[in-house]
Structure 1
Amino acid sequence: MDNITPLGGDVYEIDTRMAGYAGITAGYLILGDRPCLVETGTSTSAPVVRDALTSLGVGPDDLATVVVTHIHLDHAGGVGDIAGFYPAAQIVVHQKGARHLADPSRLMSSAQMVWGDKLDVLFGTLSPTEASRIRALDDSDSIDLGGGRTLSSHYSPGHARHHVGLLDSATGDLYVGDAAGVYLPKTGDLRPATPPPDFDLQVALNSLALFESLGPQRLLFSHYGPVPEVTETLARSAEELRVWVDLTRRAHAEGMDLDHAVAMVREKTRERYAVLASEDGADTEEAAHFELLSGAPSNVAGIVHWLERTSGER
């Protein structure tokens, strides 16, 4: 299948074809004694992921584990559907996200408020998973991949309070979810993901420092793909966070409303990203994907929410 890329170490990248597009959201299959799917993609992507697993020899009773880095719908929206396709699989998520997979009503209600009519097209509906099948991870935990291989879980909030990074003991691959931002392999662009309501700058920077301390060999982005330059990329992720926060703080201090703050930050950061830098030469489809996954309105709104919350605390 053209949406499967072998990455070595019995790891396979699966393009989930989010909303029908290529290169937006990746899931990863770790084959072995206890096959494990990292990230399901959206509900509408679930059949695509199932077909990919089938082509890799994973049948309905073979998948041992499904683990998500966090419960945002582009990462975990397909959990309920995948759980139905693979009745023997245990569903693994950080403890702060577990109840939302068992009862997604509140999560879906919030998503409806944010996305409106776009919700069904982009994400579909997260179906509930039986609570008895859900394993809630502690802040530091481990998932058995069989044969002595493990996926260690490391609590890494900042982007979301239910976020974990996952380190493969066999390959040194670190599944970074959204904690290190959004990466475009075609252009090499890296942009932060700072949506409301959970973004916190220092917590996010601490998570990046934690990732560095784990000594991974490669970063596997959910958006999108493998990046071997670990130290440089994590440093760049931290720099991007600081740039966006500094610009948003300036706009907020000047009393700009959200629309004007977004316009200012978007303009001031445009030259940082090859996909956006030249309007006439930019790949408009790539640019649209970038904006969908790390939209300036969402990023700025998340930072403003954090600024106002921390101002109140002070």
Structure 2
Amino acid sequence: MQAEASAEAPPLPVRLPRVTDYDHGISAIDADYFRTGLAAIHLIVEAGKAALVDTGTSSSVAGLMEILHQKNIAPVDVAYVFLTHIHLDHAGGAGEFMHRFPNAKLVVHPRGARHMADPARLVASAMAVYGEAEFKRVYGVIRPVEANRIVEAPDGFSLDFNGRPLLFLDTPGHARHHYCIFDKQSQSFFTGDTFGISYREFDVDGMEFVFPTTTPVQFDPIAAHASLDRLMTYNPSYAFLTHYGRIGHLPRHVAEMHDLIDAHVSIARKLHDAPNRHSALMEELGELLLQRVIAHGCKLPEEEIRSLLNLDVGLNAQGLEYWLDHAGGSS
């Protein structure tokens, strides 16, 4: 009886490390955004110099600075801050980090550069969604970055990071101000949100579960499919996702991403004129992802799976609604 009870007991919660060190001088550092394991700041170290990919929010600063100190990386040795795109969970801490790193350049998509120099519109837009009090609680103060420290990275832009070549590709679909970074040394991409979301709690025997993010306001399924296919032409070994960390098995995952993008679009179109559309979308998207996670082999209790997915389900529903109403989603 004891053996049976043990077998049926729910699995222990996954305890995620604050820092995950990979090869090629790459680490994922938890950004302290809502919960552990939700958002990562990727650190690249090359011959004594450092670069960050995405920044989290202003609340990420203290933890990141502590990790740099533990790794004996001085603020003056941070050469670059790369923003895959300017959504605030990726870029909200950029101004504060640039203040801390006096020698760093901020590298951003041309469509996002002006919002980093003058974040007033970015802040106003987010406050309209969250309300001023909640915005300040989650994102704190958004500091501007001096224009002369901003480097725009158009499609095909290349950069020599201390002898390490990095290539920047325009990858719309999630946002029109999104790039991905190809790191030839690791044969990998830093993908922001282009390759979707993959939480380590859903890993099963080393196999990850990946799903798309269709958040407001620039979701474009045709562009999203094209961006994924373009990344795969480089035959990458891994993708480093802001949400969360490194994933492999990319040929399998890109097929799953294509399928789930289409499934999200299909659900949105079906519910275009539904009463209580947002609630209906959340219910169907939540059920879609729950069943996919279970089919993937995840043994977490359903309540825990839903809890881990809930934030993204709500944002995906909002983004799909905006797409339906503004971008020809009903056609």
Assess same fold via TM > 0.5: yes
Name 2:214's counterpart in structure 1.
194
2 CA distance for matches of 1:161 and 1:110?
16
Structure 1 gaps, min length 5: none
1:234–1:277 distance in 2 versus 1, CA, 3 Å: closer
Task: Say whether the 8 Å CA contact 2:202–2:298 is kept in structure 1.
Answer: no
2 CA distance for matches of 1:226 and 1:96?
27
Name 1:35's counterpart in structure 2.
50
Q: CA deviation at 1:115?
A: 2.1
1:279–1:227 distance in 2 versus 1, CA, 3 Å: closer
Task: Select which of 61, 67, 70 maps to 1:52.
Answer: 67
Task: Select which of 316, 319, 331 maps to 1:299.
Answer: 316
Deviates more, 1:272-281 or 1:40-49: 272-281
1:137–1:313 distance in 2 versus 1, CA, 3 Å: farther
1 CA distance for matches of 2:252 and 2:58?
34
Structure 2 gaps, min length 5: 1-16, 204-208
Task: Say whether the 8 Å CA contact 1:190–1:273 is kept in structure 2.
Answer: no
Task: Say whether the 8 Å CA contact 2:286–2:306 is kept in structure 1.
Answer: no
- Letter of the 1:141 counterpart: F
Deviates more, 1:150-159 or 1:190-199: 190-199
1:83–1:263 distance in 2 versus 1, CA, 3 Å: same
Task: Say whether the 8 Å CA contact 2:30–2:40 is kept in structure 1.
Answer: yes
- Letter of the 1:23 counterpart: G
Name 2:126's counterpart in structure 1.
111
Task: Select which of 228, 232, 249 maps to 1:208.
Answer: 228
- Letter of the 1:18 counterpart: Y
- Letter of the 2:186 counterpart: T
Helix, strand or coil for the counterpart of 2:158?
Answer: strand
Task: Say whether the 8 Å CA contact 1:50–1:82 is kept in structure 2.
Answer: no
Name 1:137's counterpart in structure 2.
153
Name 1:17's counterpart in structure 2.
32
Name 1:26's counterpart in structure 2.
40
1:278–1:146 distance in 2 versus 1, CA, 3 Å: closer
2 CA distance for matches of 1:267 and 1:36?
39
Deviates more, 1:218-227 or 1:268-277: 268-277
1 CA distance for matches of 2:298 and 2:46?
45
Task: Say whether the 8 Å CA contact 2:105–2:150 is kept in structure 1.
Answer: yes
- Letter of the 1:127 counterpart: R
What TM-score, normalized to structure 2? 0.86
Aligned length: 308
Name 2:114's counterpart in structure 1.
99
Name 1:225's counterpart in structure 2.
245
2 CA distance for matches of 1:104 and 1:204?
26
- Letter of the 1:28 counterpart: H
Task: Say whether the 8 Å CA contact 2:198–2:210 is kept in structure 1.
Answer: yes
2 CA distance for matches of 1:133 and 1:275?
47
Name 2:104's counterpart in structure 1.
89
What TM-score, normalized to structure 1? 0.90
Deviates more, 1:106-115 or 1:65-74: 106-115
2 CA distance for matches of 1:262 and 1:47?
34
1:139-158 matched pairs, under 5 angstroms: 139-147=155-163, 149-158=164-173
1:160-171 matched pairs, under 5 angstroms: 160-171=175-186
1 CA distance for matches of 2:27 and 2:136?
28
Say whether 1:5 aligns with 2:20.
Answer: yes
